Structure 1
Amino acid sequence: MKFYLNCLKVVRLYSINFNRQLSISHKYFQRPETLPNVFDRKTKLKQRERTCLDPDYKIYSYVHERVAQSLVDRIFDIKRTFESALDFGCGRGLTASELTKDVVKRITMIDSSSLMLDQIRPPVEENGHDGIEIIKKHIDEEQFSGDESSYDLAYSCLSLHWINDLPGVLRKVLHVLKNDAPFIGAMFASDTLYELRVALQLAENEREGGFAAHISPFVEPPDIGGLLQRIGYNIVTLDLDEIHIDYPSMFELMFDLKGMGENNCSWNRRLTLKRETLLAAQAIYQNMYGNKDGSIPATYRILYFIGWKPDPSQKGPAKRGSANVSFKDIDKVLSTKK
């Protein structure tokens, strides 16, 4: 009975903390003057630039490479040639390295890390990259500004989830886009690494009588859709993808997150974890989610979105009351078309 009550207490504590994380997410979408300062941007810059000092930094790019390829597929689905594109939070330019000159002529790449800009892969001629003009700009993404109607494409791959003023940034990108130009983005969504979050919280509660935030808060997909529409984007579409990767243990997962530069930088994070807590978390992780071969799974939940800058040429919804066919007669209409 005592064990059962303790389990209920742990589940309740986890539920309270999860709801608190969601409330942080919802605060993104309040008015700018009440926007919280969730992330320590200086710490995030240090974390990302620390990865640039590792000679083997490329081996930790597997998640970013996978997402970059999926983002490029969405760009290719738009049958246009873009004269000028904006790569917002470009990192090492993984997305740009997949683009071809018959799709994009010029790319302006901005990032807060000068070291990552230096590690951008050069265009490869045999893959059709020769002729793409690359412009690098060392700018903090939150301080970005530009001339109105400067780009006919903007995209961002796994950088927006570290932005404090997300509404402000989306509004700035809309400002620099030309009419009928798309903004295509990918960011980590809620429930990313939920296995790691649960294991750490249960272990910390068991060993230390409470727990702190070790995984950064992520936004909810419906919130992003509503935010894009409220700011002024048109024809907004969202889709979710999950990437499942197996690791030998929780420690390899945490080590790789550090190598990616995706470790936590929220202001309320706890800077240290006790050794016994980490060992307990690994045991819980293995017991709750472990695979039969002894490895542990990790889930990366990716939100892809597309929003367009409004233009009179874009199709809109039909006027209310303009329908000339009743839903009860829809079967007759379909049979007639056949």
Structure 2
Amino acid sequence: MISTVGFRSQAGHRTVQGARQQFVIGKLRCLQHRRNLATATNVELGSSSVSISRTGGAGSFQIFDRHVKRLQRDRAATNAEESRNVDYLRDEVANRLVERLYDINRSYGHVLDLGAGACHLARALHRPHPGLDPFASRIKHLTSAELSSKLLDRDPDSYVIPSESPMKLSRLAQDEETVLLAPPSQGGLFESNTFDAVISCGSLHWINDLPAVLSGINRVLKPDSPFLCAMFGGDTLYELRTSLQLAGMDRLGGVSPHVSPLADVRDMGGLLQRAGYRLITIDIDDIIVDYEDVFALVKDLQAMGEANAVLGRRKSLAGLNKDVLIGLEGIYKELHGGAGDGGSGGGAGIPATFRIIYMIGWKEGLGQQQPLKRGSGEVNLKDILGEQGGLG
């Protein structure tokens, strides 16, 4: 499912739209070429590729530098006003995730917000909803856990939640990659079966060992309780990724990763199943943000704390060779330009796509609804779609 809902951010130079996959006919070959390039982020052609190191257990690989990621988030939170100015993306993702919470008709005692950032979810839970009370009225206690204490504490409670809120907010400065891996008897913080729900909004794409984290979330959930997640994945920033690759090949004769590798829908579905989740539901939103130029995009990513943190990375985008930067701007506008004009190619800005993978999985519990066995259906879906003209 691709969302088509759009909005305009507070900053005047950014326009945020719903999913848009319109390109003029003259760009179709370029589109196919850049899609192919987008899968080649680990290619080494005269420059460094992604560095992967093994640490800890037999199956533990390190792709991202968590220390660097914490420092990036710390720096992003140093200027609170500038940091708030780029909240538009994670706030929108949190709002859409809360919309999915309304589909589950229950109340919650204790909920964990894993990778809370600047408490985006806590704010979204208090957003007015047509015909319904804010979702915070259904939660007694929200614990917001975040790697960066500076980002987590960027805003006072009075900015995050209304004074009359029935929901208690606690903040926990802990690395979301490790905080759930062990019970207190093994040096961890949380016992098994602690939370009525675990929610993660826009942070799991920086996790090294996703299978271990997903298993840890399952451990701390109470039986028949949900895990809801929104994470950046798939084609996120494919415009920037492919433009960088083409600029590097053109000016340096090779490509080097400046945009982090991301999981796709099939990856996450399999990981959730292997971690023991039941009744898994996954859908996708594409949020397209229009920027004045590629430098405005990069500036916002850095202000969000979303700069590259891949191990073995070379330079940041800001430190790229001048020739590469000039080539990047030109290639980006040639292949993807036309922001603000519905994709017809006549606009002055550039679009940036953020693909959000939304997931819901349930911890197994007694009396839980079970899916029907494969092949037990009595109605042929092809017949239904054929009657409605869905098959052409």
- The two structures have a TM-score, normalised by structure 2, of 0.74
Name the structure 1 match of 2:206.
Answer: 162
- After superposition, residues 43-54 of structure 1 pair within 5 angstroms as 43-54=68-79
Give yes or no for the alignment of 1:215 onto 2:251.
no
CA shift, 1:126, in A, is: 9.1
Q: Given that residues 123 and 132 in structure 1 are in contact (C-alpha distance below 8 angstroms), is that contact kept between their aligned partners in structure 2?
A: no
Q: Given that residues 76 and 103 in structure 1 are in contact (C-alpha distance below 8 angstroms), is that contact kept between their aligned partners in structure 2?
A: no
Q: 1:60 aligns with which of 72, 76, 86?
A: 86
Q: Provide the C-alpha distance between the structure 2 equivalents of 1:71 and 1:269, rounded to a whole number of angstroms.
A: 32
Match of 1:244, SS state, is strand
- Higher mean C-alpha displacement, 254-263 vs 119-128: 119-128
Q: Given that residues 142 and 167 in structure 2 are in contact (C-alpha distance below 8 angstroms), is that contact kept between their aligned partners in structure 1?
A: yes
CA shift, 1:127, in A, is: 5.8
Q: Provide the C-alpha distance between the structure 2 equivalents of 1:42 and 1:125, rounded to a whole number of angstroms.
A: 27
Q: 1:33 aligns with which of 58, 76, 81?
A: 58
Q: 1:103 aligns with which of 138, 149, 157?
A: 138
Name the structure 1 match of 2:183.
Answer: none
CA shift, 1:161, in A, is: 0.3
Name the structure 1 match of 2:131.
Answer: none
Q: Given that residues 111 and 139 in structure 2 are in contact (C-alpha distance below 8 angstroms), is that contact kept between their aligned partners in structure 1?
A: yes
- Higher relative CO (Cα under 8 Å, sequence separation at least 6) belongs to 2
CA shift, 1:220, in A, is: 1.3
Q: Provide the C-alpha distance between the structure 2 equivalents of 1:235 and 1:168, rounded to a whole number of angstroms.
A: 20
Over 3 Å counting, the alpha-carbon distance change for 1:207 and 1:232 in structure 2 is same
Q: Provide the C-alpha distance between the structure 2 equivalents of 1:321 and 1:204, rounded to a whole number of angstroms.
A: 51
Name the structure 2 match of 1:92.
Answer: 118
Q: Provide the C-alpha distance between the structure 2 equivalents of 1:183 and 1:160, rounded to a whole number of angstroms.
A: 13
Match of 2:157, SS state, is coil
Q: 1:114 aligns with which of 130, 149, 162?
A: 149
Name the structure 2 match of 1:4.
Answer: none
Match of 1:156, SS state, is strand
Residue-by-residue CA offset, 1:37-61 (whole Å, 9 max, x unaligned): 1000111111111011113210111
Name the structure 2 match of 1:264.
Answer: 308
- Higher mean C-alpha displacement, 133-142 vs 274-283: 133-142
CA shift, 1:246, in A, is: 0.9
Q: Provide the C-alpha distance between the structure 1 equivalents of 2:294 and 2:350, rounded to a whole number of angstroms.
A: 7
Q: Give every structure 1 segment of 4 or more consecutive aligned residues whose post-TM-superposition deviation is greater than 6 Å.
A: 10-13, 320-323
Q: Provide the C-alpha distance between the structure 1 equivalents of 2:293 and 2:151, rounded to a whole number of angstroms.
A: 29
Q: Given that residues 154 and 183 in structure 1 are in contact (C-alpha distance below 8 angstroms), is that contact kept between their aligned partners in structure 2?
A: yes
Q: Given that residues 119 and 160 in structure 2 are in contact (C-alpha distance below 8 angstroms), is that contact kept between their aligned partners in structure 1?
A: no
Q: 2:167 aligns with which of 127, 132, 144?
A: 132
Give yes or no for the alignment of 1:298 onto 2:352.
yes
Q: Provide the C-alpha distance between the structure 2 equivalents of 1:129 and 1:93, rounded to a whole number of angstroms.
A: 18
Q: 1:78 aligns with which of 93, 104, 112?
A: 104
Q: Provide the C-alpha distance between the structure 2 equivalents of 1:77 and 1:12, rounded to a whole number of angstroms.
A: 34
Over 3 Å counting, the alpha-carbon distance change for 1:131 and 1:312 in structure 2 is same
Q: Provide the C-alpha distance between the structure 2 equivalents of 1:197 and 1:129, rounded to a whole number of angstroms.
A: 45
CA shift, 1:211, in A, is: 1.4
Name the structure 1 match of 2:191.
Answer: 147
- After superposition, residues 306-321 of structure 1 pair within 5 angstroms as 306-319=360-373
Name the structure 1 match of 2:215.
Answer: 171
Q: Provide the C-alpha distance between the structure 1 equivalents of 2:246 and 2:330, rounded to a whole number of angstroms.
A: 11
Give yes or no for the alignment of 1:206 onto 2:253.
no
Q: Given that residues 186 and 303 in structure 1 are in contact (C-alpha distance below 8 angstroms), is that contact kept between their aligned partners in structure 2?
A: yes
Name the structure 2 match of 1:3.
Answer: none
Q: Provide the C-alpha distance between the structure 1 equivalents of 2:66 and 2:114, rounded to a whole number of angstroms.
A: 16
Q: Given that residues 233 and 307 in structure 1 are in contact (C-alpha distance below 8 angstroms), is that contact kept between their aligned partners in structure 2?
A: yes
Q: Provide the C-alpha distance between the structure 1 equivalents of 2:150 and 2:161, rounded to a whole number of angstroms.
A: 26
Residue-by-residue CA offset, 1:43-87 (whole Å, 9 max, x unaligned): 111111101111321011111011010011111221111011001
Q: Provide the C-alpha distance between the structure 1 equivalents of 2:142 and 2:368, rounded to a whole number of angstroms.
A: 25
Over 3 Å counting, the alpha-carbon distance change for 1:11 and 1:163 in structure 2 is closer
Q: Provide the C-alpha distance between the structure 2 equivalents of 1:327 and 1:228, rounded to a whole number of angstroms.
A: 28
Q: Given that residues 122 and 160 in structure 2 are in contact (C-alpha distance below 8 angstroms), is that contact kept between their aligned partners in structure 1?
A: no
Aligned-pair identity (%)? 38
Unpaired segments ≥5 residues, structure 1: 1-6
CA shift, 1:267, in A, is: 0.8
> Whose helix fraction is larger, Structure 1's or Structure 2's?
1
- RMSD over equivalenced CA pairs, Å: 3.0
Over 3 Å counting, the alpha-carbon distance change for 1:206 and 1:35 in structure 2 is same
Name the structure 2 match of 1:274.
Answer: 321
Q: Provide the C-alpha distance between the structure 1 equivalents of 2:173 and 2:311, rounded to a whole number of angstroms.
A: 24
CA shift, 1:294, in A, is: 1.2
Over 3 Å counting, the alpha-carbon distance change for 1:65 and 1:15 in structure 2 is closer
Q: Provide the C-alpha distance between the structure 2 equivalents of 1:318 and 1:185, rounded to a whole number of angstroms.
A: 25
- Higher mean C-alpha displacement, 275-284 vs 314-323: 314-323
